[in-house]
Structure 1
Amino acid sequence: MSSMLNLLGLISAACLNAEKLPVALISCGFVEAAAALCLIISKAPGGIFLHHGKAPFYLYYGILVAVLVFGLVEASAGFYVSGDVIRRRAAGKTIMWVSILPLVMVAALGGFAVLNLK
Structure 2
Amino acid sequence: MGNALFKLPREAEVGDGGANSFAAEMVEASYDTTKLKLVLVAGGVGEAAAALCLALFRSPAGLFLRKKGLFYSYYGVLSTIIVFGVAEAWTGLWVSHNRRWRAVGMTVLWLSVLPVFFLAGVAGSAILK
TM-score by length of 1: 0.85
Partner of 1:106: 119
Extract structure 1 runs of 4+ deviating beyond 3 A: 2-6
Partner SS, residue 21 of structure 1 = helix
Matched, 1:83 2:82: no
Matched, 1:9 2:24: yes
Partner of 1:19: 34
Partner of 1:68: 82
Partner of 1:29: 44
CA distance in 2 between counterparts of 1:33 and 1:3 reads 18
The residue type paired with residue 4 of structure 1 is: A
Q: CA RMSD in A?
A: 2.0
Partner of 2:105: 92
Gaps of 5+ in 2: 1-16
Aligned pairs, how many?
A: 111
For 1:15-54, what per-residue CA distance to the aligned partner results, in whole angstroms no more than 9, with x for missing partners? Answer: 122221011100000000000000001110000111x221
Selected match of 2:72 from 39, 43, 58 = 58
**Aligned residues: percent identity?**
40
Report deviation, 1:3. 4.1
CA distance in 2 between counterparts of 1:5 and 1:62 reads 29
For 1:56-80, what per-residue CA distance to the aligned partner results, in whole angstroms no more than 9, with x for missing partners? Answer: 1001111100101000000000000
8 A Cα contact 2:33 2:96, kept in partner: no
For 1:83-104, what per-residue CA distance to the aligned partner results, in whole angstroms no more than 9, with x for missing partners? Answer: 11x2111110011011110111
User: Rg bigger for which structure?
Assistant: 2
CA distance in 2 between counterparts of 1:17 and 1:90 reads 12
